[in-house]
Amino acid sequence: MVIGKVDTNKKAFIVAELSGNHGGDINKAYKLIKAAADASADAVKLQTYTPDTITLNSNKSYFHTNINGLWAGKTLYQLYSEAYTPWSWHKELKDYAESLGLEFFSTPFDITSADYLEELGIPCYKISSFEINDLYLIEHIAKKQKPILLSLGLSEEHEIWDAVNTIRYAGNNQICLLKCTSSYPASISDANIIMIKDIKERFQVEAGISDHTLGYSVAVGAFCLGARVIEKHVVLDKNDNTVDAGFSMTPDEFHSMVKMIREIELAYGCINYTLSLSQKNQLMDRRSLFTSKSIKKGEYFTEDNIKSVRPGYGISTKYYKEIIGKKAACDIDYAEPLQDYMINWNDD
C-alpha cells in the first residue's frame, strides 16, 4: 500500500496522532507537528468533527462518559467541545506539516468532515473503532478511492467483514486494518498483537496497529509481527492537562520508538541461505583438517596425526572419517593443512 510518499512494502508508516492534545491552542498544535517531525514520524493525524457533528448537546444519562474513565464527569458534548480541532486550523496545519516533510491526514466522523478533508487533498483516511458500524460513512469515504486505515478496537469479525466488503464493493482495495484496544490507556496484556498475522491472512489486507498502551513495546512488537502502519498519540508534556495526555507519548519516547523500528527494518532482510560477502570473508576462521604430527609417504592417517582445528585452510572437517585409514601420498610436515593431493584416495 502506498500512502502519500510512503510505500508500506518498503517501510512502516509511522503516524503521530495529535487528537486533542493541542488543548485548543493552535500554537501548541504547531509545536506538536514540529515535535513529530523532529521525532522522525512519517505523518501527523488529526480528528475532524465538531461537537454537533458527532453527538447531541444533551445532559441525559445516555450522553455522559463512563464514570470511572479518563473523561469522567463530562457529557459527550462537553468532551468533544474540549477536544475537537477547529476546521479553520486544518489548512494551515496541513501546509506546515507538509513543509516539514510530513504527510497530513485525519479521521472524519461524518459525511461533511470527510468531504472537507477531500477538498484539502489528504492522502488517506482513518476510520475510528467507534465508527466501524457506520457503513454509510465508510462507503462514502471508500468511494474517494484513497487508502483507508480502519481501527478494529470495538468490532467482532462479522462487523469487520461488513466494513471490508463495503470498501471493496466501492471499488477500493486500499485497506489497512489496525489492531486496536479501545481503552485509554490500554493494558499491555490486552494488546493481543498476535492477531496482526491473522488479520493480514484472513482479510487479505495490510495490517497495522493503533496503540493506546503506555510506552512503545507493543508497537515495536506489532511491527515485528507484520504491522506496517503504526499509530501512537503524542503530547508535548505528560503533565499537560489535555484530553489524551494520559496515554500519549512524549516526543522523546516517540523518537525512540521510530529509531527502534527503523533499526529492525534494516535488520529484517529477506529469506536467503547464501553467505554475505562479510560472512564469506570469515570462512578461513572455521575449522579444517591439519596434521598434528609429521607424516611420511605411505603412512596411514589416524586420529593421532590429523586433527580438526582452526583456521580453515585445509580440507573440510566433514571428511575426517573418510580420511582416517587412508595413506599419505607424500611426506607432510607438522601443522600443515591437509589438501586433496596429499591423500591416496584409491589405496585401501
Query: Which amino acid, 322?
Result: E
The per-residue pLDDT for range 73-130, each reduced to its tens digit, is 788 998 888 889 999 999 999 999 999 999 999 999 999 999 999 999 999 999 999 9
CA dihedral 168, 174, 179, 183 (to 10 degrees): -90
Give the E-state strand segments of the chain in sequence order.
2-3, 6-7, 13-17, 43-48, 103-108, 125-127, 148-151, 175-180, 206-211, 229-233, 288-291, 306-309, 327-328, 343-344
Task: Tell me the CA distances in angstroms from 329 to 102, 318, 333, one per residue in order.
Answer: 71, 20, 13
pTM for this prediction: 0.85
Predicted confidence band at 70 (pLDDT cuts at 50, 70, 90)?
low
Whether the per-residue pLDDT at 208 is higher than 90: the answer is: yes
Question: What whole-number percentage of the chain has pLDDT above 90?
Answer: 80
Level-2 CATH architecture, domain 277-344: Alpha-Beta Complex (3.90)
Which of the four pLDDT bands, split at 50, 70 and 90, describes residue 68?
Answer: low
Mean pLDDT of the region 58-68: 79
CA–CA separation, 283 and 1 (whole Å): 40
Work out the angle at residue 192's Cα, subtended by the Cα atoms of residues 190 and 198, and round it to the nearest 5 degrees: 155
Q: What is the mean pLDDT of residues 143-169?
A: 97
* Peptide bond before residue 251 is cis, with ω within 30 degrees of 0: no
Per-residue confidence (pLDDT) for residue 69, from 0 to 100? 58
The number of residues making up the chain comes to: 348
The residue among 289, 281, 297 whose CA lies nearest residue 324 is 289
Closest to 80 in 3D by CA, of 58, 96, 104, 61: 58
Distance separating alpha carbons of residues 109 and 141, to the nearest angstrom: 10
| DSSP result, 154-218 | T--HHHHHHHHHHHHHTT---EEEEEE--SSSBPGGG--TTHHHHHHHHHTSEEEEEE-BSSSHH
Q: Which residues contact 79 (CB under 8 A, 6 or more apart)?
A: 65, 71, 243
Average the pLDDT over each of 33-37, 178-182, 302-306 and give the range with the smallest value: 178-182
Q: Per residue in 295-307, pLDDT tens?
A: 999 999 999 999 9
Cell of 231: 499509530
For 221-232, what is each residue's pLDDT tens digit? 999 999 999 999
Q: What is the per-residue burial (b if ≥16 Cβ within 10 Å, else e) of 233-256?
A: bbbbeeebebbbbbbbbbbebbbb
Q: How many CB atoms lie within 10 A of CB 78?
A: 18
Say whether 330 sits in a helix, a strand or coil: coil
Task: Say if residues 189 and 165 touch (Cβ distance below 8 Å).
Answer: no
Q: How far apart are the first and last CA of the chain?
A: 65
pLDDT of residue 20: 85
Grid cell 495529535 — which residue?
18
Ranges for all domains in the chain classified under CATH 3.20.20.70: 2-49+84-268
The arithmetic mean of pLDDT across residues 213-227, rounded, is 95
What pLDDT score was predicted for residue 215? 92
Going by pLDDT thresholds of 50, 70 and 90, the confidence category of residue 291 is very high
Q: Which of 285, 288, 292, 346 is nearest to 320 (CA)?
A: 288
252 pLDDT above the threshold of 70: yes
Q: If DSSP states are collapsed to H, E and C, what string results for 206-254?
A: EEEEEECECCCHHHHHHHHCCCCEEEEEECCCCCCCCCCHHHCECHHHH
pLDDT bracket for residue 316 (50, 70, 90): very high
Please tell me the CATH code under which domain 2-49+84-268 is placed.
3.20.20.70
The whole-angstrom separation of Cα 331 and Cα 297 is 5
Domain with CATH 3.90.1210.10 in the chain: 277-344
**Quick one: cell of 26?**
493552535
Is residue 154 within 8 Å of residue 182, measured between CB atoms?
yes
How far, rounded to the nearest angstrom, does the alpha carbon of residue 77 sit from its chain's CA centroid? 34
Per mean pLDDT, which range of 173-182, 201-210, 269-278, 330-339 is the poorest? 269-278
